[in-house]
Amino acid sequence: MSDTNPETTPGTAPEPQNAAINPGSTVSLCIMSGKGGVGKTNLALNLGLCLRDMGHKLLLMDCDLGLANLDVLLGLTPEKNLQDLLGGGVEPADVLLHVEDGLDILPAASGVPELVEMDQNQRDALFESLTDLIKGYAFLLLDLGAGISGTVLALARMAQMRVVLVTPEPTSLTDGYAIIKVLNAKFGVRDFCVVVNQATAKEAQDTFQRLNMACKNFLGFELVHLGHIRLDRTLTQAVIAQTPLARFAPECPAIKDIRVLAERISHYREQNLEAISGRKALKEFLPGATARNP
């Protein structure tokens, strides 16, 4: 895969590349993990910025409802959040935070336990209210909470692409397998991409093989290895500085790896535009129905 990194300077947003974009066809992609703290929110934010730098317009939604922290990574204090939208009387545009040209976020609330578990009616109402807004983006990225709550499973089921983030630690692997198994058992979902975080290429390959073998042997399907992200202490510094890594250190190893993931995901969107267009980004999605995995 070619390296198409734009020239970047720390702290500044590069001009988006002029990629061929069809904004009418939104691809929804969720980032999930069984185990908490494996790097989902940082991946969602930096993947979003890398896709944005490639010219895609995207919406990043903090779906870690009740324990949100996308805004914290950006050093922002949103006035309104998804909780206000659920409560009614607020328009989606009022909740939207403009981060950079081409990247908006929908922040969630923190410390609000009732948001962790939305029922079906609340989910329907939320996505109904977001339908028109979502249409304007090439990608809808969902940063899910860890674990297998009803909200996590419902959102993961509805997304067109599912990225399971694991680390080489055995606990992360068993929890990653658990979330795949539950989604398969409950909803028949069989298409998952895997990203191995905090790993060398060799560790990532070994980790992926173990997870893939378990799925092949016990669930009867295989996974797609989307890539890996190296362990990179710069990420911790970026979190402390409340500046996304893609802007804090745009040429550090972890961002180079995330850029490769962004290129693969962008390629997937282009390959599957025909299948994707005409389908709502979240509702009406039949798992594995039409689009191919990258």
Shortest spacing between CB 208 and ligand ATP, in angstroms: 16
Taking contact as CB under 6 A, which single stretch among the options 108-116, 170-178, 233-241, 272-280 is the one that binds ligand ATP?
233-241
Q: In a 10 Å sphere around its CB, with 0-12 CB exposed, 13-18 middle and 19+ buried, how is residue 248 labelled?
A: buried
Nearer to Mg ion, 146 or 291 (CB): 146
* Contacting ligand ATP within 2-31 (CB under 6 A): none
What's phi and psi for 218, nearest 5 deg?
Answer: -105, -25
Tokens of 143: 């940063």
Please state, in angstroms and rounded to a whole number, the distance separating the CA atoms of residues 236 and 242: 10
What's phi and psi for 143, nearest 5 deg?
Answer: -95, 105
Shortest spacing between CB 254 and ligand ATP, in angstroms: 5
Nearer to ligand ATP, 21 or 194 (CB): 194
Q: What angle do CA 154, 214, 200 make, to 5 degrees?
A: 90
The residues that touch Mg ion, with contacts defined as CB under 5 A, are 40-41
* Contacting ligand ATP within 39-58 (CB under 6 A): 39-42
Nearer to Mg ion, 41 or 272 (CB): 41
SS3 194: strand
Nearer to ligand ATP, 233 or 283 (CB): 233
Nearer to ligand ATP, 53 or 232 (CB): 232
Nearer to ligand ATP, 21 or 204 (CB): 204
Taking contact as CB under 6 A, which single stretch among the options 32-40, 108-116, 122-130, 153-161 is the one that binds ligand ATP?
32-40
Q: In a 10 Å sphere around its CB, with 0-12 CB exposed, 13-18 middle and 19+ buried, how is residue 206 labelled?
A: middle
Tokens of 100: 């950079």
Shortest spacing between CB 144 and Mg ion, in angstroms: 8
Please state, in angstroms and rounded to a whole number, the distance separating the CA atoms of residues 72 and 77: 8
Choosing from 95, 97, 99, 146, the residue that interacts with ligand ATP (CB under 6 A) is 146
Tokens of 133: 């807004």
Distance between alpha carbon 220 and the CA centroid of its chain, in Å? 25
HEC sequence for 140-166: EEEEECCCCCHHHHHHHHHCCEEEEEE
62 binds ligand ATP (CB under 6 A): no
Cβ–Cβ under 8 Å, residues 294 and 193: yes
Tell me which H or E stretch contains 166.
strand 161-166
Taking contact as CB under 6 A, which single stretch among the options 12-20, 47-55, 168-176, 228-236 is the one that binds ligand ATP?
228-236
Residue nearest to Mg ion (CB): 41
Binding mask 81-120 for ligand ATP (x = CB under 6 A): ----------------------------------------
Tell me which H or E stretch contains 177.
helix 170-187
Binding positions for ligand ATP, rule: CB under 6 A: 33, 36-42, 64, 146, 197-198, 229, 231-232, 235-236, 239, 254
